[in-house]
Structure 1
């Protein structure tokens, strides 16, 4: 065969790239999804290959696009600070709807209104603390989340701010230490200034941290909404003024197996809720004290930055749920500071006193009307002993393992006050924070009762002594009307004459 008839081998440079080469090993549909994200621009093959090695190709395209949509929404909306209310609400609502949550019917609203009215009447017979305008309302779980979110944001904003700052600092510190060499080739333009990049991504990282914390808050509130029986069962003033909130779905689950008529359960829980609302209204200083104690604890939280850095170092970017789980376990430092311990002690005492007072007052109001009041009270106590919704929520949201252990002592204290001076003495303990019981008073209930009853006896002695001194002053004043400084009546008359002719300007 002539030499010029030999077949010419194809030039490798002229060969068309295979689909596998153009997508860096990613499935074509995933590569196309990435191109849609960039507005049709071709991504560097090195970057595609790196994404494929990270496991991106194993994710369903629909799931990936949904995840990217959430990521874009994270940065496209307005900056809402350390807690994004829109993210919290969306995550929480989706969670409760997935577990089953419906709109309240007219019957449930009517039952709530009636239960609230009756409970308020019964409480009026056993306490002078009032909350005018209380109205019973039936809320779905989603409505409870939306109705209490404003207070939750105020409570956990300090720790949310600490978490987002720590998360941003951990990531920027990691890049500052290792540089950008670990990033795939072609991701950053040549000659990029690392310091400038860090300055630009700092705010983005803070928003990402806020979004992540907000998702955690939303999940925590959804879990709490699935358990809480009434609006303020966690002993915090969460609901709008005048709203006596009952959560029918949770009350029905609570009543299962109790062998008590559901209407009676509604009434008993309404009595407890109305008692809390009367207390928050009658002692207006109490709500701010509770919020301040929680915030003082939250501000003192030390974020475990080393734990965050280790979580970020081993993160799988294709599994945001795993990252969130890792961070939730590594956020908080294990040992509270002295300031935190003091805030925790105050908070535990306040919550124990609130629930102790509610126990006593609710039992007095319900015992005369509900045949199973004692059994329901014991069921509530067991529910708290096992770890109620408040404890779980605080532990997840602010790293606060809340377990007020002194509830029985608090109930004994208010029962002792009632035995010593009736309902008026029992309720007067809430008249001012300076006279409210303290942790030390829970250790010495009888001593506190003696101090609270002693002022009445001292007032009677003081009044008698004041009357005696007043009578003595009257006698002395009568004698002075007829005598001068040296006891001479004539000099007294001269002095009065001089006073009558004194110039107005003279001393």
Structure 2
């Protein structure tokens, strides 16, 4: 039908939801339908929000909407990372393509493999079993149990990202409140319309939600790649346990010319070796997580890159905003402190991976015919990293790959050959005893360097003892009735 002279022209896409409705649905999330029904029941049509004259004449129409927005965007305790958003998205990604529950047969096969791994490792290391439960998880269970650790790892960068995003959006969108920068100049919104909502808090909450989406995507993708709870190289569980994810183990075995039982046992050995290390080397968990946190807190956001990324983003499309932040927004030049921390972190990750690699190979050699092929396959997989690790790297500006694990494995093997397996494992007694990057460069010189360091330490202790002994001598002499006295 053709519009008459007094009838406004209706475009072909007149029935398409307005940008206001899109934005509200994005903000309301899972509660969108209920919230919009509530608004319409009160006589407020989201499509009418685009009518500038109506809003200008009746700013009170925004009241119920802003109350709802305020309750979502200013949730107390949300922090720099919206853990609820991360959880929901991680679960969605984990079940994409199917996530069947672990069957009784899979559970039995997994726990039996972990029990056998305990027995085999007893012959390869002095570290005792972790003593935790032996578990078989679905991908969703992996998300539920490990996501708190990912939240902790990502929180330092999330805080910086939320603040940076708030500032950039504030500058780009302009402020209509006047006194508070960062308020979006939405069409038809009169000055002061946002009343009780703090624009800065609103944008920080937006950044928190977007970062939660990023983390959820990374954790959900990881759940489809990992074999257990430890094979990403950092401790993800608060207590001792050994875990296999049967669906991922089976999928990995399908592409190999090796029986699935042998693959399962090899991966169970790696899981158990990690668990022993993280359980019985008491300082290791805090040391690793502390290095990650120290590095992450020093990460800077490249504001120019961030401005370019979000310049043309439609804020009603959260996926678009998440994609804009997926890469290229971290500062390019690390600080000297970060460089030193990163070297220590990469060395520690390599030492963990190298020790697990060496101990697993020793334990498996008498039992698994394809141990060398499996060892090489896992080495290449860890060195290359999967899509999830790349996503996490873009998320926090840090790769958790053990770049020098082969060098570390060679060093551990040399220590065991020269001094025995007991001496190899006692290197983990204290962080000061850990090999350095120089030792990875020259494993053959590790023993002589360590002996020289021990001699230097002994000489220093002797010198201190001599100094302290001389300082105490007058007091001792004064107490000795036979000692000569000054007149």
- Class of the TM-score when normalised by the shorter of the 2 chains: 0.7 to 0.9
Contact 2:124 2:421 (8 Å CA) reproduced: yes
Check the 8 A contact 1:280/1:286 in 2, yes or no. Answer: yes
1:304-355 Cα shifts (integer Å, max 9, x gaps): 2223333333222343322221122343122222222222111110110011
Structure 1: gaps (5+ residues): 1-14, 51-67, 460-483, 487-507
Out of 386, 389, 392, the position equivalent to 2:390 is 392
User: CA–CA distance in 2 between the matches of 1:32 and 1:123?
Assistant: 61
Q: Which residue of 2 aligns with 1:27?
A: 15
Per-residue deviation at 1:407? 1.2
For 1:409, which of 407, 410, 413 is the aligned residue?
A: 407
Unpaired segments of 5 or more residues in structure 2?
25-35, 54-65, 458-480
The answer to whether the Cα contact below 8 Å between 2:170 and 2:184 also exists between their aligned partners in 1 is no
Which string of whole-angstrom CA distances, capped at 9 and with x for unpartnered residues, describes residues 106-152 of structure 1? 11111121111110111111211123423321111111111111111
CA distance in 1, matches of 2:19, 2:83: 34
Contact kept, 8 Å, 1:280 with 1:287, in 2: the verdict is: yes
Aligned partner of 1:84 among 63, 82, 85: 82
Which residue matches 2:424?
Answer: 426
CA contact 2:229–2:243 (8 Å) conserved in 1? yes
Could you say which residue in structure 1 is the equivalent of 2:333? 335
Structure 1 residue 282 displacement after superposition: 2.0
The equivalent of 2:43 in structure 1 is 40
Q: What CA deviation, in whole Å up to 9, does each residue of 1:463-486 have, x standing for no partner?
A: xxxxxxxxxxxxxxxxxxxxx969
Q: CA deviation at 1:240?
A: 4.2
- In the alignment, structure 1 residue 313 sits paired with structure 2 residue 301: no
Q: Does 1:237 align with 2:235?
A: yes
Native 8 Å contact 1:119 1:270 kept in 2: yes
**Deviations along 1:379-415, whole A, 9 cap, x unmatched?**
1112123224674243122011344321111111111
Q: Deviations over 1:61-107 (max 9, x none)?
A: xxxxxxx9x98984386542112222111101111212211111111
Give the 5 Å matches for 1:95-494: 95-176=93-174, 183=185, 186-188=188-190, 192-193=191-192, 200-388=198-386, 391-452=389-450
Shift of 1:237: 0.8
- Superposition deviation, residue 172 in structure 1: 2.1
Moved more, 392-401 or 285-294: 392-401
1:27 and 1:436 map into 2 onto residues whose CA distance is 67
In the TM superposition, what whole-angstrom CA distance separates every residue of 1:431-456 from its partner, at most 9, and x where no partner exists?
10011111122123222223456799
Change in CA separation of 1:145 and 1:17 when aligned onto 2, cut-off 3 Å: farther
2: CA distance, partners of 1:383 / 1:246: 17
Residues 350 and 402 of structure 2 are in contact (CA less than 8 Å); yes or no, is this contact kept in structure 1?
A: yes
Q: Secondary structure at the match of 2:428?
A: coil
Distance across 2 between alignment mates of 1:406 and 1:330: 25
Change in 2 beyond 3 A, CA 1:71/1:274 = farther
Q: Check whether the contact 1:117–1:135 (CA below 8 A) recurs between aligned residues.
A: no
Taking only aligned residues, the RMSD between alpha carbons, in angstroms, comes to 3.7
* Other-structure match for 2:61: none
- Structure 2: distance between partners of 1:313 and 1:178: 19
Tell whether the 8 Å contact from 2:110 to 2:244 is kept in structure 1 after alignment.
Answer: yes
Distance of 2:331 and 2:413 partners within structure 1: 39
How far apart, CA to CA, are the structure 2 residues paired with 1:271 and 1:46? Answer: 61
Distance 1:414 1:277, change over 3 A: same
**What whole-Å deviation, never above 9, does each CA across 1:151-181 have from its counterpart, x for those lacking one?**
1111110000111111111122334579889
How far the C-alpha of 1:359 sits from its partner, in A, is 1.1
Secondary structure in 2 matching 1:429: helix
Would the aligned equivalents of 1:113 and 1:135 in 2 still touch at CA under 8 Å? no
CA distance in 2, matches of 1:368, 1:432: 31
Q: TM-score, normalised by structure 1?
A: 0.75
CA distance in 2, matches of 1:314, 1:225: 32
Match of 1:491 in 2: none
Aligned length: 428
